[in-house]
Structure 1
Amino acid sequence: MESSFFNRTVDETLSALGGTKAGLTSKEAAERLQKHGKNALAEGKKKSGLQVFLDQFKDLLVVILIIAALISMVSDNVESTVVIFAVLILNAVLGTVQHFKAEKSLESLKAMSSPSAKVLRDGVRSVVPSAQVVPGDIVELEAGDMVVADGRILENFSLKVNESSLTGESEGVEKTSDVIAAEKVALGDQKNMVFSGSLVTYGRATVVVTGTGMDTELGKVAALMNRTQQRKTPLQESLDDFSKKLATAILGICVVVFALSLFHHMALLDSLMFAVALAVAAIPEALSSIITIVQAMGTQKMARQNAIIKDLKAVETLGSVSVICSDKTGTLTQNRMTPQKIYADGSLLEGDDLDLVNDVQRLLLKAALLASDATTNVEDGTSIGDPTEVALVMLGDRIGVDEELYRRHHPRLGELAFDSDRKLMSTLHEIEGVPTLYTKGAIDVLLDRSRYVLTREGQVPMTPEWRERISRINMELSMEGLRVLAFSYRELPEVRALTLEDERDFTFIGLISMIDPPRPEAVQAVADAKRGGIRTIMITGDHKVTATAIARQIGIFREGDEAVSGVELSDMSDHDLDERLERISVYARVSPEHKIRIVEAWQRKGKIVSMTGDGVNDAPALKAANIGVAMGITGTEVSKDAASMILADDNFATIVKAVVNGRGVYTNIKNAINFLLSGNMAGILSVLFTSILGLSMPFAPVHLLFINLLTDSLPAIAIGVEPARKGLLDQPPRDPNEPILTRGLMLKILAYGALIACATMGAYFIGLNADNGGAGLAMTLAFSTLTLARLFHGFNCRGIESIFRLGLTTNRASLGAFAAGVVLLLAVLFLPGLNALFQVSPFTMAQFGWVILLAFLPTVAIQIYKVIHDAVRRKNR
């Protein structure tokens, strides 16, 4: 196509849309569109900082704290009132900052998987991010692409587009490139226009960009919409439910404590302060923030390991994955197709031995180059296009044939784009004055449609003997793990629009085989997955024999396993599939409907299924799976949009790493909850014990807030970054229906809390009965012991093993958190300004020595139990 035609069409189209009326260049138009987009977004409904800040006070537990602050105010307890309100405001500020940081983080993650576009600029084809596309650019679209801007179609090859993002209709819309009046273009004719946000489901087209950003049809709709709200994850919903139950329980116990205090003839305000102390002790103020931080750090860690999490639910669900249905190409293999052996004129030879003097071999190469769209740059080693087609172009590069030169001499006059159901692609060219249709595709399909075989003597009939010979060669190549493409041609009487009926009565030319070697790390990853109770299933479009050979090399296909083709799967009833499901490791030549059926069959067995894919035809199955995983490099925008996780390196090993990280994140969250709630349990039991006995308060509310929000938060965050243990893959997948607060965890929380409470009460009675003691000293020693004991307790909650097996220095964050907590405690105990605020009474160094000893004893007891438990567990292995 001539560049002058492009320029004229671009100018006409932009002029019709008002883009050049003001004399704007494409760059200036883009800048104006970008500015317009920012203004439109600013005008859209979006939560202000004040709204987000006020939202932080809606939680029932926060309301209880506000009531506690008001009671402190009434009782003239100024210090507690100031601290409680300061804590509430600080928590709201941090929550607000966290909200906007999360939005910014989400935008950055979305940018990592944002669509790109293939553009022609100054005759050079390149791939650019969608944000760099400007009005006037020439964009090439093909099946699987997301349309990144509104545009007018210049050339159309059976283009079909899904415009459900605009119309709500899922059925694809067929497009045309008919030239129409400029004023009609300005109105956005549906037939010769494509719109941003729609998905190309079939065919190819060349488009001139007419609108970008907020100036697109989708942008106009987006400007009127509220920003999408993130749904709560199952874990968040579980914790919200726990918070409501905890708040109800706290109110009930506060009433009981208040009544007990009055029963012991305590003053009304003192009784109220007892209830306030209990409420503050019971509420895990930092729990929500800690869990959010742990999840955020987990997703960032996964992103650094090339697993981009689009949906937070995926972090939790990953720990429960029990079946991975993986695409072969690019995921289990390197996605670097290289040509191997070829078959033509009755001979099987290496690709490097291709001889252009041989008419059949020369025609085979011509068909391979013309019936493909890939391009390569020999100088810098780069390529653009489908890996299979890149391999075909590489075959020409090896013997010095330039694909661009071939295509320029024989321009494409028509095309039937590749379709996964049809398994063919055809292009029409004029060869020495004769309209010739070149077709490439699956050998079984092409053999059935071929009437002749090309030899150096000319065409000969496709006899059963020829068919058997070609099939045997194909089988031999497939058993070597090679992918085989068949090529044929047909001469047409005239150049005309092609139909599917034209793909028949072919003359068979030959076969080209290629290999996509297994990734070395995929073998180990499959073995690791199996050790973790995760079954790996290969689903591929390759021939069954080829797929089985690769699966056997990787370790997916083992003795006694079965491989099933799409045809065989279609003949199975759901009952038959359920019966054989556990034995089938490889599915070959399957359709999109088959992939969904496989996923649903495993889900019927109660399995959590992860499905990987990169093509348009994978999107429905990605959506149906519990965890849809798209390829970040080779994946189409359709598959990325449907997935909940994107692999930035297209590597199967990354999925297994993500599963381990998902298990690790969930384990760390449970450990952090164990730490926070067992510490709070110690405070609750201490307050209950003293109220039942009619003694003075063991803590002031300000003490408990200091512990919950400062000294507890640091160890909890450190627990959240605990490295994932190797043993995580020695455990079966987690039951997704299991509540986070299991019976075992609740017993641990109660036992750990009771131990710490005993130590705290020991310090309390030392202060109460000391010669220089009384209620003030008892409170100071109890507060100091509880704080230090909970800091020590952070090491207990790092994992189920003892600290000797975990290693004291393997999580340096825990050491830093402990040191920071000790510094904060010492500051409160020894700095004059903080003494008064925290109601610290004078104490002796001997009494402080008792505090250290009593605070350390619960950890000693817990670690002794863990050492014994470790020994028993090792003995039973």
Structure 2
Amino acid sequence: MDTESHAASSTFGVTVEQLDELMESRENGTKKLEEFGGLPVLFEKLKTSEDGLGQIDIDNACADRFSAFGRNVHATPKSKSFIRLWLECLKDPILIILIISAIISFLLSFIPKEDEGSEGNWDWIEGVAILAAIVIVCTVTAFNDWSKERQFRKLNAAKEDRMVTVIRTGVQQTINIHDLAVGDVVDLQQGDQLPADGVLIRAINLESDESALTGESVTVNKDPKSSPFMLCGCTIATGNGAMVVTNVGIHSEWGRTLASLVKEPEPTPLQNKLDSLAKLIGYFGAGTALFTVLVLGIRWAYKEIVKKVIIDNGTFHASSLTAWIDFIILAVTIVVVAVPEGLPLAVTISLAYSMKRMMKDNNLVRHLNACETMGGATNICSDKTGTLTQNKMTVTQGWFAGRLFDRVPARDELPASIVAHIGVGSAVNSTAFLQVDEAGQPEFVGSKTECALLQLSRNWGLDYVPVRKATSEITEYDFNSDRKRMSKVVDMTQSSYEEAARDFPDFTAHAGPRIFCKGASEMVLSLCTSYLDEQGQVAPMTDGVRKSIDEAIISLASNGLRTIILAYRDIEPGQTPEQLNDSDLNEKELTCVGLTGIMDPLREEVPESVRRCQMAGIMVRMVTGDNILTAKSIARSCNILTETGTAITGPELRRMTDAELDAVIPTLQVVARSTPSDKLKLVTRLRALGEVVAVTGDGANDAPALKEADVGLAMGISGTEVAKEASDIILLDDNFHSVEMAILWGRAVYDNIRKFLQFQLTVNVVALVIAFTGALFLGESPLGAVQLLWVNLIMDTLAALALATEGAP
């Protein structure tokens, strides 16, 4: 540790080495943490608390913490210098032969010849010119490799750049992962990838997937008392919680693992195929060179030995052997010209250029071969929310107090208890939060559905912050694709909660836990046995009321609105922790508070993008968890669902055999109320039928489908870290238009390579034919070694640069 780091660490009560020892002791349970004095002492040593870093650290931009404990940046492969790349070019065996031949030719040019005139010997120019051409070829190739490596490093750096949610001064906010400091308190949600090592502060049903580090696919239960250590790079499989950061960057477990695994990117399938083609052409060129040397050798032997010595009784001069050096140089030059070194170079340049341009079109390419594969995509299975729509959700209609509103009712139009239940339920049964953006404007961060509900409460004058802070959360039942709902059980007996909820008098009546539930309208409605009537009182859910809600769901969904029902239930005191964690026991006999219709406007550019994809022969399918009526309405709006198209639900797809699904697939355009397993089944069948499939996804459960697809596209804004890790391309703007651009650039790669291949093979064949026929009939090649080398230089480098960097059509 240098002096500056030592001085910085002395301001804290713990060093990097001690924190490393703490995390390395995790195999022995919590013994080392107990020696520290537990969480309170760890907080004290790190000068932090459950409310996160203080204002002093924020004002100081965490400079002291970065000096003491390092920054959250991982190791990267050491970059090759330009000189090293230049010297590596000289390792090519063909160039080595050519250099040796050029040097011999240069030296032999000074041996006097019997027919040399008074003008002197200028044969040395050929050797020098060959060496000069080799220097230029190596310089251009090294520069291209150096530029390519720098581009790939920028793209790899962009892949690691993401935002994480932390708590600072008691307030949730998002920061860049590289600004994360030791002592930060990180908010953990299902699907998150841990940005650093840490110690768990609190957890509810938290399980961590540590397979990325351990190789074990079984999730690990995490608890602040028995298993508190969280490892960077692992993902939250279920539950939520918070942890205090102890190790960042190269000091984290993931950082140390990465440092031992850093490697250069492997060649893509297209590069491997073209490498094989280049070798095949090289063999053809070598054969041509051999025949050319053989013909020239026979002509030399006839002229210098048979005719001059045997027939004319002349004298054989050793200097005439220098002609064989010219033959060898010509042969090696023919091989150099024949081998299309520029072909792999053109692929690399084209891929690097396409990746750079795709980045501008909001496509972050994680795997290089995805550029190529996207060009051949025949099917796109797209999500709806955020991809086809703007993901800017707003409650626009709803069913409250027994009737359907075609707008959002004002606060005084509804009974106080309904407003209260929506306000408190939206606050506690949510992980979304409000923060101020760079322009100083407030914005909600998190699930856009939850943001819409919080915004509704805010418009009614209800603040979620005091309610959430004062509420004691007992347990939660996570949202997943099968349940289509999310619930939280909270303690309603705290006086502090009563103070925070003083505007909600109905909430002080029940002494015990209360469960708040929200989710897909059909799912939650089936669990409701009562509702809040026009007086705000609990009333039985009669058949007439249920029919009224069903009709409201159909009306809202037919207009393309997402329908969400909010409900609650009072739980009798005295349940054991095991009973409270049983969702089947508590998610029943709910009271329906109301039905909200949430509008998510269609992205303006999507209908035209879908149309262009269809014109290019690509089938676009929408796979969504929404109601079938909502899905069909949106699909028609964006040109996905046609008059001859088919729309089915996830349960219907699940019941189909492979043969039945194969019969439906040609017209299948919409799958509604789908689960990730439905998406995976669809992708698997499409690939089995020979289709090249691109799939979009955002949730942790989408990972299998993203991996199964030929190209997985994860959402950069709303996607979980698990989805991003399983993907090949990240859509930075979550926009379907970016998928279209990825296909355009993928096809541009193939078009550019095809153009270059056509150009290069034409020049190669012509050069070989001229060299061979000239040797056969004239006794020498019309194209000299220097001429061929310079043609090769222009053809392999400048042409590669020009043709490989043409834009998308």
- The equivalent of 1:369 in structure 2 is 427
Distance 2:143 2:334 in 1: 29
TM-score by length of 1: 0.75
Q: Quick one: which of 623, 639, 652 aligns to 1:539?
A: 623
* 1:160–1:174 Cα contact (<8 Å) kept: yes
Matched, 1:626 2:705: no
Q: Structure 1 residue 130 and structure 2 residue 177: aligned?
A: yes
Q: Find the partner of 1:221 among 239, 244, 257.
A: 257
Query: How do residues 87-126 of structure 1 correspond to structure 2 at under 5 angstroms?
Result: 87-92=133-138, 94-96=140-142, 98-113=144-159, 114-126=161-173
Which runs of 5 or more structure 1 residues have no equivalent in the other structure?
16-23, 181-190, 726-877
Tell me how far apart the structure 1 counterparts of residues 40 and 95 of structure 2 sit (CA, whole Å): 64
Provide, for residues 288-318 of structure 1, a one-character-per-residue CA deviation record: whole Å limited to 9, x for no partner: 3333222221211111111122211112112
Q: What residue is the counterpart of 2:551 in the other structure?
A: 472
CA distance in 2, matches of 1:492, 1:279: 84
My pick for the range that moved more, 403-412 or 476-485, is 403-412
CA 589–88 in structure 1, closer or farther in 2 if over 3 Å, else same: farther
Q: Does the CA contact (< 8 Å) of 2:415 and 2:534 recur in 1?
A: no
Moved more, 609-618 or 708-717: 708-717
Contact 2:191 2:720 (8 Å CA) reproduced: yes
1:461 aligns with 2:535: no
2: CA distance between counterparts of 1:445 and 1:478? 15
The answer to whether residue 155 in structure 2 is matched with residue 155 in structure 1 is: no
Match of 1:445 in 2: 523
Shifted more, 379-388 versus 569-578: the winner is 379-388
The structural deviation recorded for 1:33 is 4.0
Q: Which residue of 326, 333, 356 maps to 1:300?
A: 356
> Which residues of 2 match residues 396-475 of structure 1 at below 5 A?
396-429=457-490, 430=492, 431-432=507-508, 433-456=511-534, 458-475=537-554
Q: Which residue does the alignment assign to 2:390?
A: 334
Deviations 1:331-380 (A, max 9, x none): 11001011111112211112243435443344234323331222235871
Partner residue in 1 for 2:370:
314
Aligned to 2:13: none
Point out the more displaced range, 707-716 or 133-142. 707-716
Relative distance call for 1:702 and 1:601 in structure 2 (3 A) is: same
Deviations 1:827-874 (A, max 9, x none): xxxxxxxxxxxxxxxxxxxxxxxxxxxxxxxxxxxxxxxxxxxxxxxx
How far apart, in 1, do the equivalents of 2:92 and 2:659 lie? 49
Q: Which moved more, 1:466-475 or 1:455-464?
A: 455-464
Separation (CA, whole Å) in 1 of partners of 2:299 and 2:142: 44
Q: How does 1:57-96 map to 2 (within 5 A)?
A: 57=90, 59=92, 61-62=94-95, 65-66=98-99, 69=102, 72=105, 76=109, 78-92=124-138, 94-96=140-142
Q: CA deviation at 1:473?
A: 1.4
Residue deviations 1:532-569 (CA, integer Å, cap 9, x gap): 00110001111111111100111101112221211111
Tell me by how many angstroms 1:59 deviates. 4.8
Whole-angstrom distance in 2 between the partners of 1:226 and 1:372: 39
Match of 1:552 in 2: 636
Q: 1:298 to 1:491 in 2, by over 3 A?
A: same
Which of 25, 30, 43 pairs up with 2:66?
30
TM-score, L = length of structure 2: 0.81
**2:245 equivalent in structure 1:** 209
Superimposed CA distance per residue, residues 477-522 of structure 1 (whole angstroms, 9 cap, x where no aligned partner) = 1111000111111111227643223222212222111011110100
Q: Does 1:687 align with 2:771?
A: yes
Q: Give the structure, 1 or 2, with the largest relative contact order (CA under 8 Å, sep 6 or more).
A: 2
Q: 1:141-220 residue pairs with structure 2 within 5 A?
A: 141-178=188-225, 191-220=227-256
- Give the Cα–Cα distance (whole angstroms) in 1 for the partners of residues 389 and 748 of structure 2: 27
Comparing 145-154 and 663-672, the one that deviates more: 663-672
Q: Does 1:607 align with 2:688?
A: no
Q: Contact conserved, 1:141 with 1:204, CA < 8 A, in 2? A: yes
* Partners of 1:672 and 1:717 within 8 A in 2: no
Are the aligned partners of 2:172 and 2:433 in contact in 1 as well (CA < 8 Å)?
no
Please report how far the alpha carbon of residue 91 of structure 1 lies from its aligned counterpart in structure 2 after TM superposition: 4.2
- Give the Å deviation of 1:402: 1.6
Choose from 577, 580, 586 the match for 2:664.
580
Aligned to 1:485: 564
Contact in 1 for aligned 2:274/2:343 (Cα 8 Å): no
Alpha carbons 2:558, 2:630 under 8 Å: kept: yes
1:140 aligned to 2:192? no
Over the residues paired in the alignment, what is the CA RMSD in angstroms? 2.9
Which residue number corresponds to residue 744 of structure 1?
Answer: none
1:323 aligns with 2:384: no
User: Which secondary structure does the structure 1 equivalent of 2:642 belong to?
Assistant: coil
Between stretches 560-569 and 676-685, larger displacement belongs to 676-685
Q: Which amino acid aligns with 1:647?
A: L
* Residue identity matched to 2:421: L
Conserved? CA contact 2:278–2:341, under 8 Å: no
SS at match of 1:704: helix
Contact preservation (8 Å) 2:210, 2:219: yes
> Would the aligned equivalents of 1:280 and 1:701 in 2 still touch at CA under 8 Å?
no
Q: Deviations over 1:705-741 (max 9, x none)?
A: 222214763344222233333xxxxxxxxxxxxxxxx
Sequence identity, in percent?
32
Decide whether aligned partners of structure 1 residues 609 and 74 sit closer, same or farther in structure 2, where only a CA change above 3 A counts: farther
Q: Deviation string for 1:96-128 (max 9, x for gaps)?
A: 554454444333223323232111122232211
Deviation larger for 397-406 or 356-365:
356-365
Of 497, 502, 511, the residue aligned with 2:595 is: 511
Unpaired runs of at least 5, structure 2: 1-37, 49-56, 110-122, 304-322, 493-506
Is the 2:151–2:356 contact (alpha carbons within 8 Å) kept by the matching residues of 1? Answer: no
| Alpha-carbon separation, structure 1, partners of 2:39 and 2:403 | 46
State the Cα distance separating 1:323 from its structure 2 match. 0.6
CA drift of 1:13 comes to 6.8
How far residue 46 of structure 1 moved from its aligned partner, in angstroms, is 8.5
1:626-649 CA distance string (max 9 Å, x none)? 111111222221111111111122
Partner of 1:252: 287
Counterpart CA distance in 1 for 2:710 and 2:394 is: 34
CA contact (8 A) 1:115 1:148 kept: no
Provide the aligned length of Structure 1 versus Structure 2.
700
Aligned to 1:328, the other structure's residue is in SS state coil
Task: Work out whether 1:665 is the aligned partner of 2:749.
Answer: yes
- Cα gap change, 1:47 to 1:343, in 2 (>3 Å): same
**Of residues 268, 275, 280 in structure 2, which corresponds to 1:233?**
268
Cα deviation, residue 69, structure 1: 3.9
Q: Is the 8 A contact 1:33 1:213 kept in 2?
A: no
Mapping of 1:707-786 within 5 angstroms? 707-710=791-794, 713-725=797-809
Which whole-Å CA distance do the structure 1 matches of 2:756 and 2:40 have between them? 63
1:799-828 Cα offsets, whole Å, 9 max, x none, are xxxxxxxxxxxxxxxxxxxxxxxxxxxxxx
